[in-house]
Structure 1
Amino acid sequence: MNYRNLTPSMSLLLAFEAAARHESYTRAAVELALTQSAVSRQVQALEQQLGVTLFRREGRTVKLTDVGRLYQREISEALGRVRSATLHAIAHQAGGGSLRLATLPTFGSKWLLPRLHEFYRSHPDVLVHINSRIEPVDFATSGIDAAIVVATSELPGLICHRLHAEELMLILSPTLAATRPSWSPKDISQQVLLSVANNANAWGEWFTHHGLAHQAMRLGPSFELTSHLIQAVRADIGIGLVPRILISDELASGELSSPALPFASARSYYLVYPPRNQALPALEAFRSWLLDKAGMELRG
């Protein structure tokens, strides 16, 4: 095999990617400031080099073939990484740029996003692109620069900054809370207990902490997102056990109620990233702001 055929020129790839995204040589030509015939020639040259048919011609229109659609997906991701790498190089020289940050969905919406305007106020030349992720981030393939995660310890192979320890709070709907003058751990154990899938052992740890038999647990539905569990508690489906920082607004407004039975989880929130990203200007700015903010609010 001629390995040069596996690395087509950038001009061919750009023409194909634009034509594939629009499924139109005409619209691709406008985007690339080329003629329609030039785009067509470049796509044909790419097909000849690869030995595959990427488009079907249907009258005056073109449609991706199955292999063309597969190639488009891979090439679009690869070109995105090339563009991102270029932006990072430019940003490193200019001291600004962008940061692709993965965060837990509810932490992002309940804590990070309401405060992010403060970061932009002091760093107007930096953009933070937020990606919601529950599953572990693969920094080698995802294009993510850094992530905010929850874990029981630092993650191997990554630089980890501990933001704060997770404190779990019981949450009840105001209607359920009003059925008793006070709530004991035994009272809680008799209710339907809601959980979040990525912290399935939380209720077991809570029962152990309060000396209750695990056999007494009445486990109810499990939710992928903490925000969905919160909504389920509001709807009187059961009782939740969630991080304090994610329900402060609801407790303050009276939308939720909580007995005075906080529980220190074994987990903590961390900002993590691979060592190769440590010197990215956007990450340096965001890391400094986040650690200061966490120090003042989360640990304070």
Structure 2
Amino acid sequence: MNYRNLTPSMSVLLAFEAAARHESYTRAATELSLTQSAVTRQVQALEQQLGVTLFRREGRAVKLTDVGRLYQREIAEALGRVRSATLHAMAHQAGAGSLRLATLPTFGSKWLLPRLHGFYRHHPDVLVHINSRIEPVDFATSGIDAAIVVATGELPGLICHRLHAEELMVILSPTLEATRAQWSPVDISQQVLLSVANNANAWGEWFTHHGLPHQTMRLGPSFELTSHLVQAVRADIGIGLVPRILIADELASGELTCPTLPYASARGYYLVYPPRNQALPALDAFRHWLLDTAERDV
């Protein structure tokens, strides 16, 4: 076997991966700053080298074949490892480097960013590029080095560090809170209940915890962002059940009230990353700072 056939050039692999991800030669060409015909030639050269058909024409569009989709998945992961190794080498040479971090939007704005100056005080030569993500991070294709996520436990295939247990608090506007001298779980259950899309079962678990019948729930609108839910509570659209660490400022200022004790959910906040990124100097520095900060914040 000619092993050169098993190692296509990086240029054709990049062209294929971009075309496969977009299922478009035109969009791949724009991303790579090439012409569409150049991308087409690169893909055709790869198909000829492999002896397989990676794309099929459907009118003016191109679609991955089954073998093309399988190859794209493997190549995307391999290219992710190459990019990670390159960043690792660059960071090692510079003695610091940068970190691309994905985080939940409200956690990033309410907890991480107000504390990040402490990291830069000790590591002024490290840059942390923050990307807001709600959906799961694909470390093979996104270029993300690490992520802060909420989960019920450690995620398979990733190194996971638990930062905080999630404590949920019922939040009301001061106007609504003032309509009763005291709020019992039954009183709360009779209100319009607002929820966050990525934790749609929170109210069901809260009802179970307090022994309340689920059929009495008055579920209201759901929101993609916790910050939007908080605004809806302020506007008296309903009441919310949100993580304590995301509303500390609003509770302290009196913008929101909480008539009951926090409820411990089964979820927690984690710093996660693939094993190949473990030795990145920027991630190593950030990990130590983050874990220390989270421990002192309890």
Bucket of the pairwise TM-score, normalised by the shorter protein: 0.7 to 0.9
Give the aligned partner of residue 71 of structure 1. Answer: none
Give the aligned partner of residue 51 of structure 2. Answer: none
Letter in 1 for 2:194: L
Give the aligned partner of residue 274 of structure 1. Answer: 274
- State whether residues 80 and 139 of structure 2, in contact with CA within 8 Å, keep that contact through their aligned partners in structure 1: no
- Determine what percentage of the aligned residue pairs are the same residue: 80
Cα deviation, residue 217, structure 1: 0.6
Structure 1 residues 83 and 213 mapped into 2: Cα distance closer, same or farther (>3 Å)? closer
Per-residue CA shift, 1:153-211, capped at 9, x if unaligned? 11111111111110000110111011111110010011000001111111011111111
Secondary structure of the 1:157 match is coil
Structure 1 residues 48 and 108 mapped into 2: Cα distance closer, same or farther (>3 Å)? closer
- State whether residues 150 and 270 of structure 2, in contact with CA within 8 Å, keep that contact through their aligned partners in structure 1: yes
| Long gaps (5+) in structure 2 | 16-28, 46-59, 62-71, 73-77
Give the aligned partner of residue 108 of structure 1. Answer: 108
**C-alpha distance in 2, partners of 1:159/1:50?**
35
Structure 1 residues 268 and 7 mapped into 2: Cα distance closer, same or farther (>3 Å)? same
**C-alpha distance in 2, partners of 1:248/1:292?**
20
Larger CA Rg, structure 1 vs 2: 1
Moved more, 169-178 or 252-261: 252-261
Cα deviation, residue 142, structure 1: 1.2
Give the aligned partner of residue 92 of structure 1. Answer: 92
Cα deviation, residue 88, structure 1: 3.0
* Aligned pairs for 1:130-169 within 5 A: 130-169=130-169
- State whether residues 194 and 221 of structure 2, in contact with CA within 8 Å, keep that contact through their aligned partners in structure 1: yes
Per-residue CA shift, 1:62-88, capped at 9, x if unaligned? xxxx98xxxxxx9xxx99997775343
Per-residue CA shift, 1:9-60, capped at 9, x if unaligned? 59xx8xxxxxx7699xxxx9xxxxxxxxxx99xx9877766679xxxxxxxx
Letter in 2 for 1:255: E
Per-residue CA shift, 1:232-287, capped at 9, x if unaligned? 10110000000000000001111111113310011011111111111100000000
Moved more, 240-249 or 253-262: 253-262
Letter in 1 for 2:172: L
Moved more, 133-142 or 233-242: 133-142
Secondary structure of the 1:113 match is helix
Structure 1 residues 253 and 83 mapped into 2: Cα distance closer, same or farther (>3 Å)? same
Cα deviation, residue 89, structure 1: 1.1
Structure 1 residues 48 and 204 mapped into 2: Cα distance closer, same or farther (>3 Å)? closer
**C-alpha distance in 1, partners of 2:42/2:187?**
71
The TM-score with structure 1 as length reference comes to 0.75
Cα deviation, residue 117, structure 1: 1.1
**C-alpha distance in 2, partners of 1:218/1:128?**
42
Give the aligned partner of residue 183 of structure 2. Answer: 183
**C-alpha distance in 2, partners of 1:203/1:22?**
44
Aligned length: 260
The TM-score with structure 2 as length reference comes to 0.76
Secondary structure of the 1:205 match is helix
Cα RMSD after superposing both structures: 3.4
